[in-house]
Amino acid sequence: MAPKNLEYLHKLPRTKKWKKNISNGQKALGDKHWSKKPEVREKFRLSHLGKKLTPFSEIHKQNMSKAKSGKNNPAWKGGVSSERRRIWVTVPYKNFRIEVFERDKWICQSCLKVGGTLEVHHIKSWKNFPNERLNVSNGITLCEDCHIIANRIQRKYEQP
């Protein structure tokens, strides 16, 4: 459980002035910040070097050979991500995206933000509905943030 004073801190309203104070404080620190000190940087550098030079333990070696890539890996899911990437670069998929964007006037259909990074969300998921992947009426324009939320909600409600 978080200490009481931390809880209190999280409950404080984040006023503009307070935020400004924080950022000013960080700016004022500048090169005096501990991570900017040369001796600290050198320590970091050495500790990272040290990590690379440490010989692999036997257990680590066993784990590495178990963690085979691709189809030898028991966690292999049929190459979904590489398949997805392959389809994303095709002309039909690019056209599908543009059609969805144009229908939605390049506006996030959730928060109505214009511009920024827009993505096409598949209402019926990419994974479970392969036949709906290029169906414009299954696509909806969302901004990056809303897309993350939409995917989270989708995973929760759409059973594979």
Site of interaction with Zn ion (CB under 5 A): 108, 110-111, 113, 143, 146
Judged by beta carbon, residue 113 or residue 124, the one nearer Zn ion is: 113
Question: Least distance in Å: CB of 98 to Zn ion?
Answer: 19
End-to-end CA distance of the chain: 35
Q: Taking the complex as a whole, how short is the minimal distance between the CB of residue 120 and Zn ion, in angstroms?
A: 13
Q: Considering beta carbons, is residue 110 or 135 the nearer one to Zn ion? A: 110
**CB of 158: closest distance to Zn ion in angstroms?**
20
Q: Is 87 exposed, middle or buried (0-12, 13-18, 19+ CB in 10 A)?
A: middle
Residue 42 or 144: the one with the smaller Cβ distance to Zn ion is: 144
Q: Which amino acid is it at 75?
A: A
Characterize 40-59 residue by residue with b for buried, 16 or more Cβ atoms within 10 angstroms of its Cβ, and e for exposed. Answer: eeeeeeeeeeeeeeeeeeee
136 touches 103 (CB < 8 A): yes
Could you tell me the smallest distance in angstroms from the CB atom of residue 13 to Zn ion? 25
For Zn ion, give the closer residue by CB, 87 or 104: 104
Q: Using the minimum distance from each CB to Zn ion, give the nearer residue, 87 or 101.
A: 101
* CB of 145 vs Zn ion, minimal distance in Å: 6
Q: Identity (one letter) of the amino acid at 81?
A: S
What is d(CA 129, CA 106) in angstroms, rounded to the nearest whole number? 24
DSSP class of 106: T
